[in-house]
Amino acid sequence: MARTQLYLVRHGEQDPASNHARDGGLSQLGREQADRLGRRLRTVPFSAIHHSPLARAAQTADVAAGHLPNVPRHDCEFLMDRTPVPSSGHRDSYPDRWLAWLDSVPDEERDADAAALQAAVEHFGATGEEDRYELLITHNFVIGWFVRHVLDAPVWRWIGLNQANCAITVVQWDADRPPALVSFNDTGHL
């Protein structure tokens, strides 16, 4: 029975001097978190490291990859920082208390009806002929969407699933059963 395990990691702490700019890099603490992450994961037989193209995720991958020699890595649009927002026809699937906040999400982060995030789940969440372990370094809401998906929760339940910087969440697909949440927001290495 083939298995896919995805290790979902939020990037390290962003440099506060960047004023939370969309493409701000890591702080010194963020680099230390990424180093601890790499040390924690060095024995996992990863086939690939995928990361968001944004600087904080790319820098996290650079540091962690120092502990994962010979594991190929690349930036991946599937892991871009996105916020699922309901289209006008699906606003009733979200609690009213969240709608004003969702309406304020900047255009460059909006993912209408989570189309891009669902494509990411379909892309990564599949089994093949052999076991596969992949490291995905991404952003809080992306991880929240994956967790919401594997738990088969309502579409809005990604809200409030907050990840610590460089925490590890593991989701798993097996060939003959529904996906499962193995661990959530593990910070033992930090």
In the predicted structure, residue 17 carries a pLDDT above the cut 90: no
pLDDT for 79-131, tens place per residue? 999 999 999 999 999 999 999 999 999 999 999 999 999 999 999 999 989 99
The domain containing residue 45 runs over which residues?
3-186
The answer to whether the beta carbons of residues 126 and 99 sit under 8 Å apart is no
DSSP category for residue 14 = B
The answer to whether the beta carbons of residues 81 and 22 sit under 8 Å apart is yes
In the predicted structure, residue 145 carries a pLDDT above the cut 90: yes
In the predicted structure, residue 19 carries a pLDDT above the cut 70: no
Average pLDDT over every residue of 20-45: 93
Measured between alpha carbons, how far is 99 from 48 in angstroms, rounded to an integer?
37
pLDDT for 44-87, tens place per residue? 999 999 999 999 999 999 999 999 999 999 999 999 999 999 99
Residue 22: the pLDDT is 75
Number of domains in the chain: 1
In CATH, what number is assigned to the domain containing residue 41? 3.40.50.1240
